[in-house]
A and B are shown apart, each in its own frame.
Chain A
């Protein structure tokens, strides 16, 4: 007992959790401020949140290149954490900027929305920084609980309720898998620390000799693949993405997905590096399945949110290709891709947010007829984001896919890269269809309800800059991504 206390006290290192700590403080502060202001005032929350994100970003920035470990090796604030934190912060920031007018339009000007996003972001950061199964699990729960609430945020809307409930039930179910996996791994190795697990597994023979490791690994993977929205654990995605408030969907598709990738990648590399041939074979199948299912079903969709949900599944598949490659380019490609995806996908959702009427029944292909011509700025922005999602140069999506597939080819998975590229070709169909409707159909409406609030425009412009920056000069960020991986 005495020993434990000593260990606990010695390993306190606030620098290891500084960014997420700051963010949490902002979240809690904002929560308190909210209750003391009259109902329906939300504008202050936007700016306080953004300031909070920027301040957090500053601490993330100062932590770059200066890794900090603490709490008995349960947390690592290294470059890897920092890179992912930037992704989460951008995801949260872009989401928050587009939300304010949207919430008012939909009749829920409730300021709790913003602290919830901050908490989810903090949870995501813990997931990325966790080097202990339990820290990761803690982060996952903090993030997920906030997201359950956010998904069902429009409590008067049936669809939103359904989304929240489904996400909660299935999320809890998947958490069960994850926790069980952690328990089994603990049973085998006697530790929850990633490095210790890795050392133990490396020293003690092959996987197949011990069904418990195998089961643990599979259950653990199920938990994370659920959050990533990889097939066949993707079923929740379309329903939840469609029903949740659009900015929340945007956030969920970028931030938490990246967080799950962060934790999954770290666990795979720290704990199971000795079993690489085995789990890459498993993920190969998952990656292919995910890409195919995402892209193929997306073709049939006419609701744009649902289409982007399937597209999001497909993109998870592309990113998984980098995990299968399991080399430097593949891993850093995932980091790059997640950042790129954050910009392009949230950008696309931001356009949807602005284009929607109250209730968002018009967010269909038909409802977008002639949109590009009537609303040139949003039309051009949407075109850029779609090009990026397709993976055409000179956009971020192209560079991201290029790195990921290059990693796969380098690792010898030529067929996987070919399947990936073929899938990108299939994806052209449904992305281009949006553009066809936007530009080549006669407008039936004048889109007079579409306004351009400054905050949302800032969000779109940042996303545009990000898409082009990563697309035209991907080298710098890719270098950083290479420095960020282990």
Chain B
């Protein structure tokens, strides 16, 4: 199933909101690595700009989401909470199975 331009615009807006909320959560934490990853997430989101469409835009949105997941993982780790897992989001995937499992 291919993403339509409307899908991409919606995804971009949702991702931007997510990154902004993560930025707020990160303000009170001392996690330099997470700040760097959040910067990379915003960078990727900006490359997949509002007017961009097609596989390249989707790829950069995916990059942004990957960095966001890493930052979320850092925040959970810092608070001593269990790690989140791709399986937690399995219901949102179109693919038959979750992309990967925690190996280590």
Do A and B form a real pair? no
